[in-house]
Amino acid sequence: MLGDKLQVEVSCHDAYLRLCSVAVLRDGHEILLDASIPDQPDPGPNPNPEAQLCSALASLQTDHSKDFCLLESAEMALLNNQDYHRSFQSAVSKLFSHLKLANPRHVQDSSDPLYALDVSEGFSLLSLIAASQGHVKAYSSVEKDKQQEVLKKLARSNNIPERSLEFWLNCTEDDQGPLQRPPTEKLWSAIMLDCVETCGLIRQKLMDKASLARCLLEEGGRIFPERIVVHGMLVESDMLLLESAVQGKEPTLGFNIAPFINQFTVPVHVFLDFSTLDCRHLSEAAELFVLDLMDTNANYTTRQVKVKVTSAGRVTAIPFWYDIYLYEDISVSTLSHNSHWKQAAVVLQEPLQVQAGDWISLCVTLHKSTMSISAQPDNQPQPMD
């Protein structure tokens, strides 16, 4: 919970530094996370140096009995994104409040809770946040046993009833994937989708998952997020240009490789930090594309966008990022300085020389969750500001 302090045990008995969560300090009280495991005595020096070396190299933990849960760096970065989790908590609280008001039996009858499904990739706290709302049965798609144990411990330490949190893949017996009906005859009140990869790209098959998820929602139920707005900007970046293709037509060590190699260049750069990217901004940020996960009729595959140039230079790339609308006006931005997401950029095959006041026409296309952007000067006269 907000304001909690985590007491961590740090040890280094071999060649590795290990961190283990021990207790949560809340309002002056200590909540033990590993209360069932007694303190281990100091093993002292290992009389067998060969065994100690092998244990250190293999990180086998042969002289310790405590369990450790290892997370990927991207998962840790997600856990540390407090804005995202606060926004999600506000969004699910708002949705469940609306559903409970519309149908009071969800509050009066404990055997008829709201159902929530989190199908995020990797380790996720969203199911735990949903379960904390009360009269909600949340299902997590976490697969690894140790990660499931961590979620169970977190649920206990936050006074969330054990019956309110289940692990969805433990409940299914076929290979149809996690997007299925709940075990009962009910439908889902909320389905949480993982929409944007840490690298800055839309997740593959996102719209297919959204189409299936819509069919599994009860009346009034929602997908989180409900829509994604893509923003971008015209920039001049020699660094992105140099990293995207072989520059110039001169032979390299006597070999004419540029025409051949440049046929196989990847036009999209990922894992960018736009705040530190070496570039000049040639326009203001512009809305490029909108993905509506709740209304399939509102979507399209191609959009034409006209962007006004604010500074003279060469347009070499178009970095883009997302505003993720969880529910109604509650949103998070992947451009936020404390976000775990990075940004991506489309690099133009041919830079465009521009002057302030020029207009650039962008053709933005989304095909199988892959975004492509082409740019050309717009010669049509524009209305006066």
Separation between Cα atoms, residue 371 and residue 368, nearest integer Å? 8
Per the document, the length of the chain is 385
Which band of pLDDT confidence, cut at 50, 70 and 90, is reported for residue 161? very high
Mean pLDDT of 346-353: 94
Q: Are 59 and 74 in contact (CB under 8 A)?
A: no
**pLDDT for the residue numbered 271:** 94
At residue 160, φ and ψ (nearest 5 deg) are -90, 125
User: Measured in Å, how far apart are the chain's first and last C-alpha atoms?
Assistant: 49
Sheet with strand 217-224: strands edge to edge: 165-167, 136-140, 114-118, 188-192, 217-224
Mean pLDDT of 4-28: 78
- pLDDT of 61 > 80? The answer is no
The highest-confidence range among 26-40, 47-61, 164-178, 229-243, by mean pLDDT, is 229-243
Residue 126 CB neighbours (<10 A): 24
Mean pLDDT of 89-97: 96
- pLDDT of 175 > 60? The answer is no
**pLDDT for the residue numbered 37:** 46
- pLDDT of 230 > 50? The answer is yes
Q: Are 198 and 361 in contact (CB under 8 A)?
A: no
- The tens digit of pLDDT for each residue in 271-317 reads 999 999 999 999 999 999 999 999 988 999 999 999 999 999 999 99
Separation between Cα atoms, residue 134 and residue 119, nearest integer Å? 20
pTM, to two decimals: 0.79
Q: How large a percentage of the chain has pLDDT more than 70?
A: 83
User: Comparing 73-224 with 228-377, is the CATH topology the same?
Assistant: no
Residue 230 CB neighbours (<10 A): 22
CA distances to 17, 32, 81, 128, 142 from 71, rounded to whole Å, are 15, 21, 15, 17, 12
Mean pLDDT of 116-127: 93
Q: Which of 20-34, 169-183, 188-202, 291-305 has the weakest average pLDDT?
A: 169-183
- Which of helix, strand or coil describes residue 285? coil
Domain ranges of the chain: 1-35, 73-224, 228-377
**pLDDT for the residue numbered 26:** 84
Separation between Cα atoms, residue 80 and residue 197, nearest integer Å? 16
Q: Which of 119-123, 252-256, 353-357 has the weakest average pLDDT?
A: 252-256
Which residues, at least 6 apart from 111, have a Cβ–Cβ distance to it below 8 Å? none
- pLDDT of 176 > 60? The answer is no
CATH classification of 228-377, choosing from 3.40.50.300, 3.40.309.10, 2.70.160.11, 1.10.357.10?
2.70.160.11
Separation between Cα atoms, residue 185 and residue 275, nearest integer Å? 49
Mean pLDDT of 117-146: 92
- pLDDT of 335 > 80? The answer is yes
| 73-224: CATH number | 3.40.50.150
Q: Which two structure tokens, joined as six digits, stand for 284?
A: 């203001």
Which band of pLDDT confidence, cut at 50, 70 and 90, is reported for residue 69? confident
Average pLDDT taken over every residue of the chain: 85
**pLDDT for the residue numbered 38:** 47
Q: Which of 6-20, 49-63, 142-156, 285-299 has the weakest average pLDDT?
A: 49-63
Cite the DSSP H helix spans in the chain: 49-58, 73-79, 82-102, 105-108, 126-131, 145-157, 168-171, 206-215, 238-244, 258-261
Q: How large a percentage of the chain has pLDDT more than 90?
A: 55
Mean pLDDT of 66-76: 76
